[in-house]
Amino acid sequence: MSEVFKRLERDPIGTRAPLVTILDSAGWNDAGLMPAIAQQHDSGEVLMMAWMNRESLKETLTTGRVCYWSRSRGKLWRKGESSGQMQLLKTAHLDCDGDTLLLSVDQTGPACHTGRRSCFYVALDDDGATVDSDALIDPDQLYASS
């Protein structure tokens, strides 16, 4: 963990640090990415996990519209650009060691490409897995105009 995050551990509420210091010290992985968890701000539902690089995080903080880094497409991914199901940013937090983001968002419609509200629909138990939510929208409709 970086010295910057080590110092923040014992700092009281209200302690400030410049954004450039934080982003220089954050725990980006070897690909320059970190996981970002999106949580619906009012219901508390965890919607999805995706990846951000420094550029996508800065854009998100500046514009208030969530932008990830698509590992499969190798480019910035402005959530909703093909589905219309965008995420507006309410708050963003880094964790104690600066390598994971938690985004509080207002999600329009389904967050998941399957048309479900949340990506977390495969419930596990000690014997198997069960699909435990249905699509809000047919996924063929979701991407029909893109």
Coil, helix or strand for 103? Answer: strand
Residue 126 or 146 with smaller CB distance to a second copy? 126
Residue 30 or 75 with smaller CB distance to a second copy? 30
Is the alpha carbon torsion for 124, 106, 83, 70 positive or negative?
negative
Report, in Å, the least distance between residue 75 CB and a second copy. Answer: 18
Report, in Å, the least distance between residue 59 CB and a second copy. Answer: 10
Region of 54 please: left (phi>0), alpha (psi -120 to 50) or beta.
Answer: alpha
Q: Which residues bind a second copy (CB under 8 A)?
A: 5, 8-19, 22, 35, 37, 39, 43-46, 48-49, 57-58, 61-62, 91-98, 100, 102, 112-114, 116, 119-134, 139
What are the residues whose beta carbons fall under 8 Å from the beta carbon of 64, sequence distance 6 or more? 88, 89
